Amino acid sequence: MNKTILTFLAVISIFLISCASSDSTVEEQTSSILSGNLKGLLSNELYLIDLQKSNSGPVDTAMVDAEGNFAFDFTPPQKAFYRITLSNELALILPLAEGEAVIVNGSADDPDGLVVTGSKDAERMLAFNKMLRDVAMEQQELNEAFGSFANHPNMDSVVMVFRKRFEQSELSKVADMKKMIDEDASLFSNLAVMEQMPTSPEENLEYFRKVDEALAAKHGDSPYYLNFHNRVAKMNRFRMGSEVPEINLPDPDGDLVPLSSLRGQVVLIDFWASWCKPCRLENPNVVKAYNAFKDKGFTVYGVSLDRTKQAWVQAIQNDGLTWTHVSDLKFWNSEAAQDYGVSGIPFALLIDKEGKVIGKNLRGPALQKKLAEVLN
């Protein structure tokens, strides 16, 4: 679960911007920052919303004529993401900047027929969101197929098969995003792409650094870029071989348990919470790794971002988490979360016997594979 300000770009846009139709007509480019022809609109007005100032109302209004033509004359002070809502089910989120002339053609009734041209950033957003939409449809089909096996006698095997299919779908998505970044890392729209990029394995972090460096010179004063840059800076704090800060929080009995008390063991520092569904789904994998390697010098130091002791302790019991647990029950204001720069959970660091990072956000089989390398 992530609380960064750009999350909406990757979530909302999955269903809001879709692929271009090859036979759609594109209007000639105009001097307007955003213009075009849209059929099927329910209103003769379109509103341009700055996504960082959405509560302040539209920055510009465009009148739509009888043929569906419109044009916004607003001049963005700097590159930013803007939204125009075409219907209750359809909106466009586009990066816009002074000097660009982005053109949109199509119909509010036909998301797949929309055509967006006029800038590399607009075209990248279109390609990115087509890919996300295809992945979402694929995974929805997998969900429906999985549901048909609800009463299957070999449910464990069914779960394993579908988990692998979901993992492959996610791996394909990541590969497509990397290809986009490799094509042009300097595009502002890559900020939306990177919101969907997982931080593990370690090689993925190189793409965060690549985009960060490519955008620094041109967009260094953008609030969107600065938010991303700060995130990347936090990631770099825990590069392989770096030392982690001390944590000293109370366990469920109220006794302080410092992280350093586990020195001499390989430790997974696991930030989680009872309310975090992805955390709870990952817990069985951590339990499996713990049971397999606890007698070889491995343990877990669970740091909960819960708000109530009852929910925290109940989740520990329900999930069978038999390792060390600590929490100050301060939610995102947890002292440890602040020190570690945690902005989303689950978040985990694997440290060696000397307290140095040897792995980050290792999920599922990846954790056991790393432990096998270190402890066997």
- Check whether residue 79 and residue 93 sit in a common domain: yes
What type of residue is 304? S
pLDDT score of 1 more than 70: no
- Check whether residue 357 and residue 268 sit in a common domain: yes
- Check whether residue 149 and residue 68 sit in a common domain: no
- Check whether residue 123 and residue 136 sit in a common domain: no
Q: What is the CA radius of gyration of the chain?
A: 24
- Check whether residue 36 and residue 100 sit in a common domain: yes
Whether the pTM exceeds 0.85: the reply is: no
- Check whether residue 33 and residue 122 sit in a common domain: yes
pLDDT tens digits, 323-353: 999 999 999 999 999 999 888 899 999 999 9
Structural domain contains residue 328: yes
Q: Which of residues 112, 127, 142 is at a domain's end? A: 127
pLDDT tens digits, 150-160: 888 888 888 88
pLDDT tens digits, 21-38: 333 333 444 468 999 999
pLDDT band for position 11 (cuts 50, 70, 90): very low
Structural domain contains residue 181: yes
Structural domain contains residue 241: no
- Check whether residue 226 and residue 261 sit in a common domain: no
Structural domain contains residue 243: no
pLDDT value of position 300: 98
Q: Which of residues 70, 94, 127 is at a domain's end? A: 127
Angle between helices 155-183 and 120-147 (to 10 degrees): 180
pLDDT tens digits, 96-141: 999 999 999 999 888 788 899 999 999 899 889 889 888 999 999 9
The total domain count for the chain is 3
| Mean pLDDT of the 242-265 span | 96
What type of residue is 159? V
- Check whether residue 307 and residue 276 sit in a common domain: yes
- Check whether residue 168 and residue 211 sit in a common domain: yes
Structural domain contains residue 2: no
pLDDT tens digits, 55-69: 889 999 999 999 999
Residue 336 and residue 271 in contact, taking contact as beta carbons nearer than 8 Å: yes
Structural domain contains residue 1: no
**C-alpha dist (Å) from residue 182 to 13, 100, 177, 228, 270:** 22, 23, 9, 18, 32
Residue-number span of the structural domain to which 88 is assigned: 7-127
